[in-house]
């Protein structure tokens, strides 16, 4: 039996992971499940899967978690220290599906134990790519992509030599506002941004899809994970979300990965890798689909994509600053304190402030420095003053 843990078990990726694991309970020995305030879901899944321990991220939810687990013999714990502690318990395969940079420390801890980390949490690579890859290498741990585009690239690269790769193209649906006139974006509401045309995901990544901050993070993730230079990474808007990514080789061949927009494909690939096993996902009928569309994204519409290129060029801790500023801007947008376009304006202001503060982004990439950069970027995002015409 394989020992598995799921961080962020109550979220969209976590629940899809549980769906796959629960279909073959005889194959898995579940160690830890973690979640947030939704302790009834967390306890229910921990009992159903026979986990050793369940952790809520928030101390104020611990009593409720204990009550929900009463009589099950399953251990309950809470808080950031507990998240890292359970990540240190031996597991063969760990799903990293916490949202945001909160997923970084538990992920690094799992790598230190030599686990294979299935990485849905793209923030881990955006904030600390070099540190994470180096930790995995030093401890003989594995890293597998779960983001659909990166899983697609990974699959297109099987049996290939990286030196034959000319470019990587990741697709973007364009999110909720892909067909909106640009003048209307300033007034876009949280409700409007929270409706994804193709994918059913957590609210934060759904809004990040509308602003293209999600794709911006993914371009950086591609750069870190596959070690491909930024100018060889392209983004294509593809409204149908059927082609997830393409790899272009030096002989001109393009290998595309197609599949229905269902995260259980990428999760299942990482779960069963290097094998392929049956997955309960829809099979594409291309004849029925008839046509697929592609277009170049308009960077004036999506400043996040330009910022991602600047961040990759800057290197160092710029990814940690960018991600944290983006997370905080998203908090303010969700709380209706700033408008949709002000998110990118403020993030850009924070990056400029880091640039003026000599050397902050060039500190060594340790976990402590990444987390300090993260805190500072969030504070500066709150302080950022931006003026926008109209
Ligand atoms: P979600 O909001 O549905 O779930 C997030 C999970 O993290 C929940 O279990 C929540 O309780 C937990 N969590 C939230 N804040 C936390 C904190 N501060 N500390 C500890 N735990 C916390 O998110 P999701 O859509 O499942 O996304 C999870 C990750 O996967 C994100 O990094 C996202 O970018 C990535 N991802 C998601 C999808 C998708 O289809 N949902 C696709 C690709 C990548
Ligand atoms: Mg993705």
Pocket of ligand 1 (CB under 6 A): 8-14, 35-36, 57, 97-99, 102, 120-123, 147, 199, 201-202, 204-205, 263
Compute the half-sphere exposure of residue 365: CA atoms within 13 Å on the CB side of its CA.
19
CATH code, 333: 1.10.1740.10
Domain boundary among 111, 145, 179: 145
How do residues 352-378 score in pLDDT, each as one tens digit? 999 998 899 999 999 999 999 999 999
What is the rounded distance in angstroms from the CA atom of residue 388 to the CA atom of residue 390?
A: 6
356 in any annotated domain: yes
12 lies in the same domain as 131: yes
Q: Are residues 140 and 8 in the same domain?
A: yes
The confidence score (pLDDT) of residue 388 equals: 64
Residues 168 and 141 in one domain: no
- In contact, 42 and 76? CB cutoff 8 Å: no
Q: Which of 196, 229, 262 delimits the end of a domain?
A: 262
- Give the ligand at the shortest distance from the Cα of 263: 1
Residue closest to 289 by CA, chosen among 259, 265, 255, 269: 259
In a domain, 278, yes or no: no
For residues 16 and 135, membership in a common domain is answered with yes
Nearest alpha carbon to residue 196 among 241, 233, 162: 241
48 and 116 housed in the same domain:
yes
Domain hosting 357: range is 315-383
Is 172 within 8 Å of 215 (Cβ atoms)? yes
Q: Whose CA is nearest to atom 17 of ligand 1?
A: 102
Report how many domains make up the chain.
3
User: According to the model, what pLDDT value does residue 175 have?
Assistant: 87
Last residue of a domain, one of 145, 162, 182: 145
Residue 277 domain-assigned? no
108: its two tokens: 């690094």
Bridge partner list, 237 = 172, 295
List of residues 6+ apart from 42 with CB closer than 8 A: 9, 10, 33, 34, 35, 54, 56, 65, 68
Over residues 265-321, the pLDDT tens digits come to 999 999 999 999 999 999 999 999 999 999 999 988 899 999 999 999 999 999 999
* Residues 155 and 139 occupy one common structural domain: no
Instruction: Quote the ligand 1 centre to 327 CA distance (angstroms).
Output: 12
Place of tokens 């294979």: 116
Quick check: is 296 in a domain? no
Q: Does residue 276 belong to any structural domain of this protein?
A: no
Same domain, 73 and 192: no
Q: What is the pLDDT of residue 145?
A: 98
Residues 168, 81 share a domain: no
CATH number at residue 10: 3.40.50.720
pTM tops 0.95: yes
Residue at token pair 């504070």: 379
Q: How far is CA 231 from CA 227, 272, 281, 327, 358, in A?
A: 12, 32, 34, 26, 27
Q: Is residue 166 part of a domain?
A: yes
User: Based on the domain organization, do 328 and 237 belong to the same domain?
Assistant: no
Q: Is residue 267 part of a domain?
A: no
Q: Which ligand is nearest to the CA of 107?
A: 1
String of DSSP letters for 231-279: GGEEEEE-TT--EEEEEEETTS-EEEEE--S-THHHHHHHHHTTS----
Distance 195 CA to ligand 2 centre (A): 16
The whole-angstrom separation of Cα 254 and Cα 269 is 21
Query: Same domain for 120 and 223?
Result: no
Q: Are residues 117 and 7 in the same domain?
A: yes
Q: Which residues are annotated as a binding site for 1-deoxy-D-xylulose 5-phosphate?
A: 122, 148-149, 173, 196, 209, 214-215, 218
Residue 95's nearest CA partner among 50, 33, 26 is 33
Q: Which ligand is nearest to the CA of 194?
A: 1
The verdict on 41 and 78 lying in the same domain is: yes
Output the tens digit of pLDDT for each of the chain's 390 residues.
Answer: 999 999 999 999 999 999 999 999 999 999 999 999 999 999 999 999 999 999 999 999 999 999 999 999 999 999 999 999 999 999 999 999 999 999 999 999 999 999 999 999 999 999 999 999 999 999 999 999 999 999 999 999 999 999 999 999 999 998 889 989 989 999 999 999 999 888 889 999 999 999 999 999 999 999 999 999 999 999 999 999 999 999 999 999 999 999 999 999 999 999 999 999 999 999 999 999 999 999 999 988 899 999 999 999 999 999 999 999 999 999 999 999 999 999 999 999 999 999 998 899 999 999 999 999 999 999 999 999 887 644
Whether 14 is covered by a domain: the verdict is yes
- What was the pLDDT predicted at 299? 84
């Amino acid at each position: 039996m394989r020992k598995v843990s799921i961080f962020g078990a109550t979220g969209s990726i976590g629940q899809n992971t549980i769906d796959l694991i629960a279909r073959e309970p005889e194959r898995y020995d579940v160690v830890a499940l973690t979640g947030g305030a939704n302790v009834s879901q967390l306890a229910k899944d921990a009992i159903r899967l026979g986990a050793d321990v369940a952790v809520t991220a928030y101390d104020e939810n611990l009593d409720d978690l204990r009550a929900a687990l009463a009589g099950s013999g399953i251990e309950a714990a809470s808080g950031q220290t507990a998240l890292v502690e359970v990540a240190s318990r031996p597991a063969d395969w760990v799903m990293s599906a916490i949202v945001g940079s909160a997923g970084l420390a538990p992920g690094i801890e799992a790598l230190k134990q030599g686990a294979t980390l299935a990485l849905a949490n793209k923030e881990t690579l955006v904030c600390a790519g070099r540190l994470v890859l180096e930790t995995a290498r030093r401890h003989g741990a594995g890293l597998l992509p779960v983001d659909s585009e990166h899983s697609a690239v990974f699959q297109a690269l099987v049996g290939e030599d990286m030196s034959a790769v000319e470019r990587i193209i990741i697709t973007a649906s364009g999110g909720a506002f892909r067909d909106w006139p640009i003048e209307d974006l300033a007034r876009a509401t949280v409700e409007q941004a929270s409706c994804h045309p193709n994918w059913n995901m957590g609210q934060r990544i759904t809004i990040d899809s509308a602003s293209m901050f999600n794709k911006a993070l993914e371009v950086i993730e591609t750069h870190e994970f596959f070690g491909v230079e930024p100018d060889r990474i392209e983004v294509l808007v593809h409204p149908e979300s059927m082609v997830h990514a393409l790899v272009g080789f030096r002989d001109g061949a393009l290998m595309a990965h197609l599949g229905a927009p269902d995260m259980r494909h990428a999760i299942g690939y990482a779960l069963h890798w290097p094998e392929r096993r049956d997955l309960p996902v829809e099979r594409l009928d291309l004849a029925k689909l008839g046509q697929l569309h592609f277009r170049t994204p308009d960077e004036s519409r999506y400043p996040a994509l330009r910022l991602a290129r600047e961040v990759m060029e800057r290197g160092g801790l710029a990814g940690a600053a960018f991600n944290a500023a983006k997370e905080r801007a998203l908090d303010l947008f969700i709380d209706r304190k700033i408008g949709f376009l002000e998110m990118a304006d403020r993030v850009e202001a924070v990056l400029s402030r880091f640039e003026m503060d000599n050397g902050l982004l060039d500190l060594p990439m340790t976990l402590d420095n990444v987390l300090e950069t993260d805190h500072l970027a969030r504070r500066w995002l709150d302080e950022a003053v931006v003026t926008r015409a109209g």
